[in-house]
Amino acid sequence: VEASIPEPQREAWLKNQASGFKGKDQFEKEVVRHVETTLARSMFNCDETAAYAATSLAFRDRLVIEWNRTQQRQTFADSKRVYYLSLEFLMGRALDNAMLNIGEKEVAKSGLSELGFRVEDIIQQEHDAALGNGGLGRLAACFLDSLASLNFPAWGYGLRYRYGIFKQEIIDGYQVEVPDYWLDFNPWEFPRHDVTVDIQFYGNVNKTTDDSGKVTAHWEGGETVRAVAYDVPIPGYATPSTNNLRLWSSQAASGEFDFQKFNSGDYESSVGDQQRAETISAVLYPNDNLDRGKELRLKQQYFWVAASLYDIVRRFKKSKRPWREFPDQVAIQLNDTHPTLAIVELQRILIDLEGLDWDDAWNIVQQTFSYTNHTVLPEALEKWSVGLVQHLLPRHLQIIYDINLFFLQMVERNFPKDREMLSRVSIIEESQPKMVRMAYLAIVGSHKVNGVAELHSDLIRTTIFKDFVTIFGPDKFVNVTNGITPRRWLHQANPGLSSLIASKAGDPEHYLKDLTLLNKIELSVNDPAFRKAWAEVKLANKQRLADYIKSTTGIVVSPKALFDVQVKRIHEYKRQQMNIFGVIFRYLKLKSMSPEERKKVLPRVSIFGGKAAPGYWMAKQIIHLINSVGSVVNNDPDIGDALKVIFLEDYNVSKAEIIIPASDISEHISTAGTEASGTSNMKFVLNGGLIIGTCDGANIEITREIGEENIFLFGNLAEDVDDLRHKNTYGDHKIDPSLDKVFNVIQSGTFGNAQDFQGMVSAVREHGDFYLVSDDFHSYLETQELVDKSYADQELWITKCITSVARMGFFSSDRCINEYAEEIWNVEPLQPDTNNGVGKGE
Ligand code: NBY
């Protein structure tokens, strides 16, 4: 407000308002201007990297103008905002998305062509923003796209990691991790060196009592690290609304050096302080569905949560409203338990710094927060040792103990007969050492808790959070089935299919914002011209992937073969091991055939991709086996085109955009009850591929939407898993005979040193087969045979594909965000045409 231009001078500003390019000629002018001035280059040294930079800067100018307007409009309207707190935002590339969301890709294409470049080549220069592991991080990115596209006033808050998820290289069949230097050149972020927050760690707590007897806690001493904001504009599709993603970077609070130390000759330690501070936001932890309890991770969590809350509270305080209105202005969504300390931090701000009573403060906290659970796997449920929390955040530990005390007192009052209940639901686990159970803290501090697919939400209500349903009642626990943005995952990744759909469903600006309009294509399911065009689009996408496979692996695959794809993080519960065992079985079968018989089989390409957490030994063994099988099968002259096994290195968002549109069948084959939702299953079906899968996660709702005749389901049900596991451990565990055959071949050394794969084999044979690979193997093989038979009838196959796509409207992340907005956040969109007043006031 202090820096606002006085009224008499504003006319000059309004007259000179920035606008960004309009049309092809201005686009070209802006690109050339950025090459020649911003980059200080010329037409004599403009390579594709420079053209990418200049094109991005031209688009960035457009984004910034709408972004500023959107933020002004939201400030002026002063309506409730959503804050999405996530340690991961797996954004992928931004340029193509900006072009499409703004609606200027054609302009860029023809402009760049006149300047001597192909738009596709320029787009590919961009490094993925890979600030996430997998589904959880990509979900956050899809949500940002929907929030902006639906005009919700919403901010994302995260960490600006210097290194995102590692780059995967495959060397001699093994995964090797290489650091991801993604910040080399990033035109999409704006450092806000004036937006900083100093964050405290360690120290101790002193209490003072005033004359009225009121006790106040003071957290003192310790060390301070500075959080600096970096802002990323998030454009909505076909709307000027542009939201903000704020990522915090850590710095030494004293600036570059501690000058005292520096002058006293302690140069090394002054640099050391700086490096220690920068370490906090240096690297994304590469585990998915595993909690390792590292101190630096807890530091990251508090650093990010404290900076974000300070920012949110600062914004609220500007409105001069009373504290009780905080939940009318602010909704904070916790993406998993990683930001749960925000609950404690807000309570601390309200009672220690703002002087509210405990109960008033706690009501505000509970009304503000809501928590999304993404897993039931026990090894992924966060716990922090009481000692560590005490050391790093002494005041927070006290508050956690008080939260727990008041909570347990309430439980005791309401359930006096159930003494065991108290220890079961306590936020503090009375183990050695004692642990803080973050999910319980998140539940107690939130007004809603949601799972991410129906089965998953049922499971959390009946298993891991059962007692809390008893305590708080069933209404606190809701389901919001995940969704995906059709802008990136259909329009951007698969322009051919998007325009074919548009020929029936109306222009993309409509159906991409109301995905239920896809159902219009079902009317054309029997239209021969439509079907022919459909098959051509799929073949072209398969050719594009075949070219990519050739260029990265040297292996030639036929686009006429059935493309069978499993791309996701490598995890035993996702069962890539079952897939590769199935591939080996197919190989053995082919080997046993005569050459004439072999010629008659439908050729198949088995495509894998995904990273293993660097410390996950079994996942790395799975990658090694896939590659070893590939080198045997792909070089076996008996086999030829009948079977190829491909492992695509470094699976990420931009590679997913090539792989997913090219699949005929994709595998979503987790042990029933373990995959909370899955979101790539939705992407594959939306792109005209079918699924082979278990009755798990969102597969179940996909089946309900598209019809069970259009999906290949197999395997045991979630309700039977416990009994089967018990039987495998305590009863007699008979290995499926086909799987036994596969194991014997592995152990004979056919795919290299048998010792290398002993862990995978004995997990099934000797260690109770926790993921039920053997229990599901027969049904898996049978269903794969059914896939082959179905694919042979191309007419029926295409009918299944078209019908499925037509019925996928439900899985848009727009539907999902609207459910959050209505049932959890109680927020409304802010239409961009209600712009009145902006530009006049401040
Ligand atoms: O979240 C995934 C689920 O596995 C998947 O089924 C679901 O569709 C998706 C979106 O709801 N979870 C996931 O990706 N989780 C993680 O990446 C993750 C990362 C870190 C930690 C735990 C889980 N951690 O504790 O550090």
Q: What is the pLDDT of residue 255?
A: 57
For the CA of 676, the closest atom of ligand 1 is 6
Query: Which residue's CA is the closest to the ligand 1 atom numbered 25?
Result: 291
Q: Which residues pair with 26 in a beta bridge?
A: none
pLDDT in tens, 760-784: 999 999 999 999 999 999 999 999 9
% of the chain residues with pLDDT over 70:
98
From ligand 1's centre to the CA of 143, what distance in Å? 15
Q: What is the pLDDT of residue 837?
A: 45
Query: Is the pLDDT reported for residue 840 higher than 90?
Result: no
Active site residue 741: no
Does the C-beta of 131 come closer than 6 Å to ligand 1? no
Query: Is the pLDDT reported for residue 260 higher than 70?
Result: no
From ligand 1's centre to the CA of 653, what distance in Å? 16
Of 246, 447, 513, 569, the catalytic one is 569
Q: What is the arithmetic mean of pLDDT over 709-722?
A: 98
Q: What is the pLDDT of residue 836?
A: 44
Q: What is the arithmetic mean of pLDDT over 673-696?
A: 99
Active site residue 575: no
Q: What is the arithmetic mean of pLDDT over 120-132?
A: 98
As a whole number, the mean pLDDT across the chain is: 96
Please state, in angstroms and rounded to a whole number, the distance separating the CA atoms of residues 340 and 372. 11
Active site residue 318: no
pLDDT in tens, 156-170: 999 999 999 999 999
Q: What are phi and psi of 156, to 5 degrees?
A: -95, 145
Q: What is the arithmetic mean of pLDDT over 166-183?
A: 97
CATH of the domain spanning 78-93+128-481, picked from 3.60.60.10, 3.30.390.10, 3.40.50.2000, 3.40.50.10140: 3.40.50.2000
Residues 430/416, Cβ–Cβ less than 8 Å:
no
Query: Is the pLDDT reported for residue 440 higher than 50?
Result: yes
Q: What is the arithmetic mean of pLDDT over 140-144?
A: 99
Domains 78-93+128-481 and 558-811 equal at CATH topology level: yes
Q: Name the pLDDT band for 114 (thresholds 50, 70, 90).
A: very high
Query: Is the pLDDT reported for residue 414 higher than 90?
Result: yes
Does the C-beta of 583 come closer than 6 Å to ligand 1? no
Q: What is the pLDDT of residue 270?
A: 75
Of the ranges 261-265, 324-328, 803-807, which one carries the lowest mean pLDDT score?
261-265
Please state, in angstroms and rounded to a whole number, the distance separating the CA atoms of residues 145 and 814. 9
Q: Which residues, 6 or more positions from 178, have their beta carbon under 8 angstroms from its beta carbon?
A: 166, 167, 168, 169
Active site residue 574: yes
Query: Is the pLDDT reported for residue 839 higher than 50?
Result: no
Does the C-beta of 231 come closer than 6 Å to ligand 1? no
Residues 105/344, Cβ–Cβ less than 8 Å:
no
Please state, in angstroms and rounded to a whole number, the distance separating the CA atoms of residues 345 and 307. 10
Segments in 565-616 forming alpha helices (H): 576-591, 595-600
Q: Are strands 665-668 and 562-567 parallel, antiparallel or unpaired?
A: parallel
Of the ranges 57-61, 212-216, 514-518, 823-827, which one carries the lowest mean pLDDT score?
212-216
> Tokens 């009224």, residue?
7
Query: Is the pLDDT reported for residue 841 higher than 50?
Result: no
Pocket mutation for ligand 1, best pick of 88, 283, 288 (most atoms within 8 Å of C-beta): 288
Single-letter amino acid, residue 98? A
Q: Can you state the angle between helices 105-114 and 48-77, rounded to 10 degrees?
A: 150
Q: Name the pLDDT band for 265 (thresholds 50, 70, 90).
A: confident
Active site residue 683: yes
Q: Which fold has domain 558-811?
A: Rossmann fold (3.40.50)
Q: What is the pLDDT of residue 842?
A: 34
Q: Quick one: how many helices (H) and strands (E) in the chain?
A: 35, 24
Active site residue 569: yes
From ligand 1's centre to the CA of 134, what distance in Å? 7
ipTM given for this complex: 0.99
Cis peptide before 433 (omega within 30 of 0): yes
Q: Where are the domains positioned within the chain?
A: 19-75+102-124, 78-93+128-481, 558-811
Segments in 483-575 forming alpha helices (H): 486, 495-505, 508-511, 528-553
Does the C-beta of 657 come closer than 6 Å to ligand 1? no
